[in-house]
Amino acid sequence: MPKHVVPRLLRAHPTETWLVIVLAVICAGLSLTTTQFLTVANVFNLLNTSSVNLIFAVGLLVVLIAGGIDISFAVAASVVQYVAALALAGIGGGGWLSGLAIAALAGMTLGAVNAALIHYFRIISIVVTIATFNIFFGLLMFFTHGVSIYSLPEWWTRRAVLFEYQQANGTWAELTLPVLIMSVCVIATWVLIRHTTTGRQLYAFGDHPEGAKRLGINIAAMHFIAFGWLGLMAGIGGLVQVHYAQEVVPNALIGRELDVLAAVVLGGARLGGGRGTVLGCILGVFLVSVTQNGLNLLGVSPYAFKMIVGAIILAAISLSSAPLGQMLARGRQRWQS
Amino acid sequence: MTDGLSPPMMNGKRAGWRAFDAKPGAEAIGLGLALLAVIAVFSLLSPRFLTLATFDSIAFQLPELGLLTLAMLMPIISGGINLAITFTANICGLTLAWVLHANGGSDAGILAFLLGAILAIGVGTGSGLVTGLVIAYTGAHPILVSLSMMIFLRGLGEFLTRGGDISGFPDFIQPLGHGSLIGLPVPLLILMVAVAIWHVMMSRTRLGFSTYMIGSNIEAARYSGINTKKVLVLIYALSGAMCAIAGIIMVARFNSVRVGHGESYLLITVLACFLGGVNPFGGFGRVLSVVLALIILQVLSSGLNLLGANQHLATALWGLLLVGVMILRWVSGRLGLIMRR
Amino acid sequence: MAVAAPQPQDPTPVLSLQNVSVTFGGVKALQDVSFEVLPGEVQCIAGENGSGKSTLIKVITGIYQPAPGCRFTVAGQSVQTMSPAQARSAGVVVIWQDLALFNEMSVAENIGIEAVLGATPRLVDHAAIRRTAENALARLGADIDVDARLSEFAIAQRQIVAIARALVREAKVIFMDEPTSSLTRTETNRLLDIVRTLSAQGIAIVFVSHRLAEVLEISKRVTVLRDGRLVGVFESAGMSQSRLTELMTGKTFDQSVKAADHAVSPVVLSVNGLSRRGDYAEISLTIRKGETVGLTGLLGAGRTELALSIFGMLQPDSGAISIDGVPLQLRSNRDAIRAGIGYLSEDRLSLGLIQPQSIEDNLVLPVLDRIIGRRLISTRKKAALVARWVSDLAIRVGRPVDPVSTLSGGNQQRVAIAKWLAAGPKLIILDSPTVGVDVGARAGIFEIVQRLAHEGLAILLISDEVPEVYFNADRVLHMAEGRIVGEYDPRRIALTELEAAVYA
């Protein structure tokens, strides 16, 4: 069996390699055309603002790997925000630990609802999550009357700086707490899917559910863990988003799910399951945020962002899908044996 | 070697659904009974229900939803889905609005309107065409492609309108949205024509036939000589064209265009399809049954409105209804399997 | 030619079952069947569809429970019931035809998948998994890159990965379901080498296969099942394919050469110098009106690729194809169909027919033009067309609106043939038309083929089974490694000579 000449990296991780190149090109381009891009302040700002999306993204990644899809998590995050605000008020304020615990619990519960409907009633995940999107949103808006919550515990809204750096021009570049929380979530997800048996089982299940079943993998566990993890991330992400915005607004996150999904798919996860890496996720999210950041710095109207990002995603999806990969693989197979 | 019980998490088609791909007669009767039941319940709950005014409001509201459902129908039967329908309708409405504004706004003439309408249909068909081309030639998943198109169109719309409302249209548009012809609302007439065309197309043309075959097994359809790529492109292009018509009607009805208008319709169109017996994996589904299902949903919506039910509660209700319908299908699928043993 | 397995010294069976009976809602899937596997032996289970082969395996692996009265003996110890866990500890591993591997995972992880199973979450030791995989592959003498993704490999290598996985699961008996159906000759030989290696290591292999030639070549013993009963256990040496067929079906088939001369008939298909890099080269052949040309050879010879090129689905790099003297430019199969070519796919289940759709819809699929009235499909014309072909080919259907999946394999194949005939073709390519069709139903299919030839249709009959082309074609072309290496007249050569030439 002749070993391939093509470098291992390119063959095993084509999407990630491709993304790194594109990202590098964009960054290079931006640093040349604007003075503000390659500053510490801007980089820190990018990290700060991408945190929430990245938390959502690694959660969604797990669901995609397991072969499903979920468009209800942003609404679920909004629900968790509200629930957390009320619960924390109830326990007299709380702190980061109690906040995270409540958010985690609430988020996982909502994720479990999706998992239960998908598993016990054999309904495909796109249909279930379209339904739960509407159920969660409708109930949320009904019970809250669309009212935002402004008075929140101090720890939640106080800007927490992890690391400061004074730039040459005197302004301070700050790295904030969300980045830390995001890093923990990202690393935890990475450990889960790469280094635990549960994670590997998720890959197997997403790849070939029937085969996984024959091996004795617990299918219910797969569903609940995948959607539960996304629920967990949605809850945490929601919490962090409030920290950022300093208020709880019921429909602030609506629409976020599509941007996150697009970024995760850009990063190499595919709808059929069995594929996707945390690195790809990170690259996908940053590609989108760097593009938006760049467009902003270049003075392009913010309304154009969505349009341009949508066009990029359309192009990326068209170029990266299975048949092209299959054609390449088949071409390679012809030269073998 | 399947036992028909493996979870259908986006993978393949499962045997259990076949039990629900019922005979047309049984399906229509079932839906007809459901409709009567809904009407009965609401009549009891509110004395104002069984009035001409109610029928009128249903008749005027149904068409937008109906046209969008027709736009959703073919892609689902072909084994895909078109998540971009609402924003496609928006963009088409915007196109019409833009043409009208460029030609005098509220003083625009009929010619401007016709030009705008034609352009709108072009835009709708065009975006559907692109969606179809990408799906057919790259094999990318319809969910992703239509989702990206949705994101793009939403962004485009917001960019063009800066998030605001566009209004100020000529008066002669009014009848299109609010007028009646031979006793029936104009939009309803348009819907009826569209339904008739769709029905004939799905049941008696080569395109419709191919759509069903592709929905069940696209490769086998290709081997048997169907031009699958062309059919897929046509399916999504027609879907886009139908969205355009819906968009035009919406402009006429509300006398304004706003991006995001009708966003909630997406769920209802999917719901109407499944309630109407369309197989979620494709290959089966009848236009008339879906229309019946649609009427049921519209009656429900109007009834709830009449009872003063909260808008948001209604949204949650649609979600619950969708879940309910799917659970019912699962139950009947299991019963079918059990009875066959 | 039977594989010479080393005679096991220890005659205690690894596994043995007695008096197995399984009934499904009134249907006796297995009746009083006994079965045993000796350590290190290579055995085959042969039987038609519905004979109970898969049911037997599912009983052995504990998926189905037999009726009381069955006795299991594992390594000499009597066992009350078989459960999947017990089958595992008995060392029983089944490699199903679809392999149940994970294409997106690496070879190493596929082989070492055991290490990541289990309900309690643990950290994964990737290095250990790699080592396990490399050891297993070394035991099989296979050189496969363990870090590569499985999807990069062709089916032959994936099969080896599946076997390696079985080894890691400490198999004592490996059941393989139709292992050679997609392998080329070289790959089959490699598989047989692996089987010999395993056998020498004391691991028994049981094949379930319908490919009679290989059944007899690979195994030492053959267990024959028919209609849920055990016909007997026979030594492969000295058994012939026809005798085996007789045992499997209980019928004797009168096989006679039907070749005839067609030199005076006009040429329908003419292929000249057709080449496609990597698939076939310099193919030239002619088929005349009413002639049946057989095309045989081992898998990998390029027969299906050639057929797909004639059918317009695979573009050749050079050469010409013409029908009735008219050269064709085939950009897709639609052009081919319009030119009068039909193609019966070898994969009836997923390519030949659309299983969930009705019989009548499947039948009219390629001929929508004929049932379209002015612009719309005419239900009357459709019903007439369907009725005509159903009766013409004697297809046993319940109602034409029933899904085609409700029909038996043989009847499904008739529907598949009918749909091509409805198009009124000049040439029809039959690619392995009897795969998945019971030996008993095959004669019926070939009767149809003969009748079609009589009526003037030109037929290209592609088959793995040399006897099939020998007894049904006017001329037999032997294709190997992309080229036509021989042309034979069945009247002038004996079947055994032809088989020797093909399998050489």
Position A8 pLDDT exceeds 70: no
Amino acid at B162: R
pLDDT computed for residue B101 by the predictor: 85
Question: CA C480, CA C485: separation in Å to the nearest integer?
Answer: 6
Question: CA B244, CA B233: separation in Å to the nearest integer?
Answer: 17
- On whether the CB atoms of residues C159 and C179 are closer than 8 A, the answer is yes
pLDDT computed for residue B246 by the predictor: 95
Lowest mean per-residue pLDDT among A174-188, A223-237, B201-215, C406-420: C406-420
Cβ contact, residue pair A134, B267, below 8 Å = yes
- On whether the CB atoms of residues A189 and A65 are closer than 8 A, the answer is no
Cβ contact, residue pair C350, B219, below 8 Å = yes
The larger pLDDT score, comparing residue C311 to residue B330, is at C311
Which of C94, C178, C354 would you mutate first to test chain B, the one with the most B CBs within 10 A? C354
The larger pLDDT score, comparing residue A247 to residue C504, is at A247
Report pLDDT digits (tens) over C274-316. 999 888 999 999 999 999 999 998 766 888 899 999 999 999 9
pLDDT computed for residue B18 by the predictor: 43
Contact list in A for residue C119 (CB cut-off 8 A) is 218, 221
Question: CA C115, CA A204: separation in Å to the nearest integer?
Answer: 13
Of A134, A209, A308, the CB nearest to B9: A209
Tell me the C-alpha to C-alpha distance, in Å, between residue C502 and each of A153, A234, B132, C180, C481.
Answer: 83, 63, 47, 17, 12
DSSP-derived secondary structure for C411-477: HHHHHHHHHHHTT--SEEEEESTTTTS-HHHHHHHHHHHHHHHHTT-EEEEEES-HHHHHHH-SEEE
pLDDT computed for residue A11 by the predictor: 62
Position A311 pLDDT exceeds 90: no
In the A/B pair of chains, how many CB contacts fall below 8 A? 185
Cβ contact, residue pair C105, A203, below 8 Å = yes
Torsion angles phi and psi, residue C483, rounded to 5: -125, 155
Helix (H) or strand (E) holding A90: helix A73-90
pLDDT computed for residue A55 by the predictor: 97
Average pLDDT over every residue of C161-189 = 83
pLDDT bin (cut points 50, 70, 90) of residue C14 is confident
Average pLDDT over every residue of B60-79 = 94
| Whole-number percent of chain B with pLDDT over 70 | 91
Please report how many Cα atoms fall inside a 13 Å half-sphere around the Cα of residue C270, on the Cβ side. Answer: 12
Report pLDDT digits (tens) over A174-216. 888 899 999 999 999 999 999 999 999 999 999 999 888 888 8
Report pLDDT digits (tens) over B196-226. 999 999 999 999 999 999 999 999 999 999 9
Cβ contact, residue pair C419, B283, below 8 Å = no
Cβ contact, residue pair A1, C142, below 8 Å = yes
pLDDT bin (cut points 50, 70, 90) of residue C485 is very high
Question: Is the CB of residue B328 less than 8 Å away from at least one CB of chain A?
Answer: no
Position C2 pLDDT exceeds 80: no
Contact list in C for residue B204 (CB cut-off 8 A) is 376-377
pLDDT bin (cut points 50, 70, 90) of residue C488 is very high
Cβ contact, residue pair A67, B150, below 8 Å = no
Interface of B with C in 162-181 (CB under 8 A): none
Chains that touch C (3 or more CB pairs under 8 A): A, B
Specify the residue for token string 């208020």: A247
Position C473 pLDDT exceeds 90: yes
A287 — alpha (psi -120 to 50), left (phi > 0) or beta? alpha
Question: Is the CB of residue A313 less than 8 Å away from at least one CB of chain B?
Answer: yes
Helix (H) or strand (E) holding C365: none
A136 CB-near residues (< 8 Å, 6+ apart): A72, A75, A76, A78, A79, A110, B316, B319
pLDDT bin (cut points 50, 70, 90) of residue C254 is low
Chains that touch B (3 or more CB pairs under 8 A): A, C
A148 CB-near residues (< 8 Å, 6+ apart): A247, A248, A249, A250
Which of C24, C55, C58, C357 would you mutate first to test chain B, the one with the most B CBs within 10 A? C357
Lowest mean per-residue pLDDT among C32-36, C45-49, C384-388, C461-465: C45-49
Question: ipTM, 2 decimals?
Answer: 0.84
Token pair belonging to A176: 């904030």
Contact list in A for residue C145 (CB cut-off 8 A) is 1, 3-4
Contact list in B for residue A258 (CB cut-off 8 A) is 147, 150-151
CATH 3.40.50.300 fits domain C1-91+174-252: yes
Average pLDDT over every residue of C347-366 = 90
Position C26 pLDDT exceeds 80: no
Average pLDDT over every residue of C108-132 = 90
Question: Is the CB of residue C356 less than 8 Å away from at least one CB of chain B?
Answer: yes
Helices B85-102 and B265-275 cross at an angle (nearest 10°) of 130
Of C96, C124, C154, the CB nearest to A333: C154
Contact list in B for residue A132 (CB cut-off 8 A) is 319, 323
pTM of the model: 0.85
pLDDT computed for residue B339 by the predictor: 65
Cβ contact, residue pair B327, A259, below 8 Å = no
pLDDT computed for residue A230 by the predictor: 97
pLDDT computed for residue C437 by the predictor: 77
pLDDT bin (cut points 50, 70, 90) of residue B260 is confident
Question: Is the CB of residue A64 less than 8 Å away from at least one CB of chain B?
Answer: no
The larger pLDDT score, comparing residue A301 to residue A106, is at A106
Chains that touch A (3 or more CB pairs under 8 A): B, C
Specify the residue for token string 């919550």: A149
Tell me the C-alpha to C-alpha distance, in Å, between residue A273 and each of A208, A323, C38, C102, C364.
Answer: 8, 16, 41, 11, 36
Q: What does pLDDT average to over chain B?
A: 85
In the B/C pair of chains, how many CB contacts fall below 8 A? 66
Q: What does pLDDT average to over chain A?
A: 86
pLDDT computed for residue C504 by the predictor: 65
The larger pLDDT score, comparing residue C218 to residue C105, is at C105
Report pLDDT digits (tens) over A250-260. 888 888 888 89
pLDDT computed for residue B341 by the predictor: 47
Report pLDDT digits (tens) over C192-235. 888 888 888 889 999 887 777 777 877 899 999 988 889 999 99
Report pLDDT digits (tens) over A125-151. 988 998 999 999 999 999 999 899 888
Q: Per-domain residue ranges for chain C?
A: 1-91+174-252, 101-170, 253-340+426-504, 350-424
* Chain A, nearest residue to B268 by Cα: A131
Three-class DSSP category at C116: helix
pLDDT computed for residue B119 by the predictor: 95
In the A/C pair of chains, how many CB contacts fall below 8 A? 88
Question: CA B232, CA B61: separation in Å to the nearest integer?
Answer: 30
Lowest mean per-residue pLDDT among B89-98, B233-242, C251-260: C251-260
The larger pLDDT score, comparing residue A264 to residue A304, is at A264
Question: CA B143, CA A130: separation in Å to the nearest integer?
Answer: 12
Q: Per-domain residue ranges for chain A?
A: 14-318
Specify the residue for token string 């109007």: B302
Average pLDDT over every residue of B245-250 = 93
Average pLDDT over every residue of C157-172 = 88
Contact list in C for residue A329 (CB cut-off 8 A) is 151-152
Position B12 pLDDT exceeds 70: no
Report pLDDT digits (tens) over A73-119. 999 999 999 999 999 988 888 888 999 999 999 999 999 999 999 99
pLDDT computed for residue A108 by the predictor: 97
| Whole-number percent of chain C with pLDDT over 90 | 33
The fold of the C253-340+426-504 domain, in CATH, is Rossmann fold (3.40.50)
Which of C57, C104, C314 would you mutate first to test chain A, the one with the most A CBs within 10 A? C104
Position B5 pLDDT exceeds 70: no
Matching CATH topology for C1-91+174-252 and C253-340+426-504?
A: yes
The larger pLDDT score, comparing residue A172 to residue A184, is at A184
Report pLDDT digits (tens) over A41-78. 888 888 988 999 999 999 999 999 999 999 999 999 99
Three-class DSSP category at C336: helix
